Amino acid sequence: MPELPEVETTLRGIAPALTGQRIDRLLVRDRRLRQPVSLETEAQVPGQRILHLRRRAKYLLIALEEGSVLVHLGMSGSLRLVPETAAYRPHDHIELTLESGVALRLHDPRRFGIFQWIPEPAETHSLLASLGPEPLSADCDGAYLYQISRNRRAAVKSLIMDSRVLVGVGNIYANEALFMSGIHPARAAGRIGLARYQRLADAIKQVLNAAIEQGGTTLRDFLREDGNPGYFAQQLRVYGRTGEPCRQCGAPIRLGRIGQRSSFYCATCQR
């Protein structure tokens, strides 16, 4: 599933080509996404000018003169910029054609994405209203994580992956940040002190920013807006490295399950 760095990479790639452009046409080639593309979306989007784009958690928001288009890439989705005359690929389900002659296409083999026009302010939408702070914002610091973790017995990895606590820290980046901060992923969230939470907050920002700089992490389906893969997978310290030597101490990387998700860690470096 595309995570926060992949969505941020996509945003930065498509925003210059979309901002200020008027939408000439919205073509829905297959409306059967996770939420079927509504007839209202088809009626409201064409003819509007794109004011700006932004990201909230793993959602892209395309602000229009009236309302916004909310996009989620689901399990296998990607957005690509192509000439409007380019041939369609299988699973190119949605196309926005701009007055510039450029087309934005949503490619989604598993059809688990979302593409919907919403009239209300984005922050009040049901998918966004209960989300926690952005991990790259000043709101995510050691004091916040420490305060919200008090009296919690759940594993710290589950805490930082809870979108009501913190948005966009997916499984790959949770594993990497916990390793960087020396915290065992199964440790009870309420048994971690302020100083260690500050290291964890710093590590989350560091690993997410590094992934964004590398264009995301391509493990299966993700491609950037230009059709190229992300390269952060080459820098992973623990994720997917079961049995391989830890790059800090040489001990074998271990694999466990926390909250039904694979958890990779070094039993020597993390406690």
Active site residue 157: no
Active site residue 55: no
Beta strand extents in the chain (DSSP E only): 23-28, 50-56, 59-64, 68-72, 78-83, 92-98, 102-107, 114-118, 254-258, 261-265
Active site residue 3: yes
The Cβ of residue 137 has, within 10 Å, a number of other Cβ atoms equal to 10
Active site residue 225: no
Give residues with Cβ within 8 angstroms of 106, minimum separation 6.
71, 77, 78, 79, 92, 93, 94, 95, 113, 115
Contact 189, 156 (CB under 8 A): yes
- What residues are paired with 94 via a beta bridge? 28, 106
Known binding residue 110? Answer is: yes
Integer Cα distance of 58 and 6 in angstroms = 9
Percent of the chain that is helix, strand, coil (3-state, to 5): 30, 25, 50
Of 150, 175, 191, 190, give the one whose Cα is nearest residue 270.
Answer: 175
Known binding residue 152? Answer is: yes
Known binding residue 91? Answer is: yes
Reported residue count of the chain is 271
* Catalytic choice (31, 199, 254, 261): 261
* Catalytic choice (8, 55, 56, 58): 58
Contact 13, 6 (CB under 8 A): no
Hey, which residues are catalytic here? 2-3, 58, 261
Binding positions for DNA:
91, 110, 152
Binding positions:
91, 110, 152
